[in-house]
Amino acid sequence: MVGVPTVTSGYNSRMRRLWQKVFKFWQRYEHHFGVVALLAGFLFDLWIADRPDSVANNLFLLSYLFVAGALIIVLNLRETRRKEGTSAEPLFLLLILQFCFGGLASNLLVLYGHSGTFASSALFLGILVALIFGNEYMRSRYVRLHFNVAVYYFLLLTYCIIAVPTFIFHSVGTLVFVMSGLVSLGVIATFLFLLYGAVLRRTAHGLHDVSILVATIFFLFNGLYFLDVIPPVPLSLKNIGVYHTVLKQSGGGYLAAYEVPEWYAFWRDTSAVYTVAPAEGAATASCFSSVFAPTGLTTSVYHRWEAFDPQSGEWQSMAQISYPISGGRDGGYKGYSIKTVTPGRWRCDVETASGALIGRVSFDVVAGQPALSQTVL
C-alpha cells in the first residue's frame, strides 16, 4: 500500500523550511541583530541605573546575573547536543545573553562612573567600556565556555564590590573589599559546580582552565584596588567646590560665598581661580563637598589639602581633616574644611580612610579683588 501524506508531515515539512529561512536570515544579518540586542540592553540600563542601594535597580542586576548564568548553562548544553546533531543553533538565546551582558555592563559602568575621579578610574572604566563593545565583536565565542564564564565572573565581581558593602557590612575599606571578592568566589564556585556537575560532565577537564581565568580576574581586581584604580564604590561625590565663606544656617543648609566659574566650565561648582586681596597675601578657603553613601552605611571621609611645589615639581600635603558621614541622603552627606592658602596651585582631595580618591577640586590662588556671589548649599 502506498502511504498517504498526512497533515502532520506536511506541517513539519513547512516548519523545517521556515526554520531554514530564519536560520539563513540570521546568518546574513546576525551582526546587526547582535548590535541591536547589545545596544538595547546598554541603553535600557543607562535609563534605569540608579543609586547603589536602590531595591529596584538591584533586582534588575540580580535578575540579569541569574538569567545570564542560566543561559550559559543552557547554551553550553545545547552546543554539546548540536555537535551531536540533536539540537539547533540557539539564536534567540544568544540575543538574550547579549542583552543581559550589555545591560549588566552599562548599569555597572554608570554606578562606577559616579564614584572617584576620571583620572583615577580611567583604566577601570576603560575595561568596562571594552567589555561592552568587545562582547559584540567576540559574539562568535558566546558558545565557548571560557569566554562566557570570564565575562560572567567579571560582571559578578564588579556587582559584589558594590552590593556587599551596601547590604551586608554597611561600611567600606580594605577588609570589606576583600570580603566582597570572597563572596564572588563563593558564588562562581557554586555556579561552576552546577555547570560542570550537571551539564558538562564529559568535558570536566576544562574546569582547570576556567578556574585559572577566574583567579586571574580576581587577582587583577585586587591589584587594581591596591593601586587605587578601582573607584571607591559605593561612595560617590555629588558636589565639590572651594568657597570664600561657608556659614551654617539655622533653618538648615549652608550659605556660601564663591567665585562663579567660567561659562564653559559647566562641570565645576566654583571657579578654578581663587582670588585673595593683594594686601593680605594669604586667606582662608573652604572646601565644601557632598558625598553620597547608601542607606545604613557609615564611614569617615578626609579632606586632604595639597599645594604644588614648583621646585620639586610635586604636590605637598598641607593638611588632612576628617569628618564622619552616614548614608541615605539623595544629595549626599555635606561637610567642609578650612585651610589658609597662599598664591599658587592648590587642590583639595576627598578620600576614604584607606586613601582611595572619591573626588578632587583644583584651583589657582591669585592676588586681586574677588567678585563674589552667594548660594545656598
168-203: per-residue pLDDT in tens? 999 888 899 999 999 999 999 999 988 887 666 655
Which residue matches cell numbers 582552565? 209
- 67 closest CA partner among 180, 134, 183, 155: 155
Q: Where are the alpha helices (DSSP H) in the chain?
A: 7-48, 55-83, 91-113, 118-137, 145-164, 174-194, 207-226
Q: What is the pLDDT of residue 23?
A: 59
Poorest-pLDDT segment among 30-34, 51-55, 185-189: 30-34
Are 125 and 109 in contact by the 8 Å Cβ rule? The answer is: yes
Comparing 68 with 8, the larger pLDDT belongs to: 68
Quick one: pLDDT band at residue 1, thresholds 50, 70, 90? very low
pTM of the predicted model as reported, rounded to 2 decimal places? 0.81
**Which fold is adopted by the domain 236-376?**
Immunoglobulin-like (2.60.40)
pLDDT surpassing 60 at residue 269: yes
Cell of 216: 586571574
pLDDT surpassing 80 at residue 362: yes
Q: What is the pLDDT of residue 87?
A: 47
Are 348 and 242 in contact by the 8 Å Cβ rule? The answer is: yes
Quick one: pLDDT band at residue 20, thresholds 50, 70, 90? low
Q: Round to whole Å and give the CA distance between 270 and 348.
A: 13
Q: Round to whole Å and give the CA distance between 70 and 81.
A: 17
Cell of 311: 621646585
Q: What is the pLDDT averaged over residues 24-53?
A: 64
Q: What is the pLDDT averaged over residues 84-97?
A: 64
Q: What is the pLDDT averaged over residues 117-121?
A: 62
Going by their DSSP bridges, the two strands 357-367 and 273-276 should be labelled as parallel
Q: Round to whole Å and give the CA distance between 130 and 309.
A: 37
Domain coordinates of the chain in residue numbers?
A: 7-226, 236-376
Q: What is the pLDDT of residue 159?
A: 94
Quick one: pLDDT band at residue 288, thresholds 50, 70, 90? very high
Q: What is the pLDDT averaged over residues 141-165?
A: 84
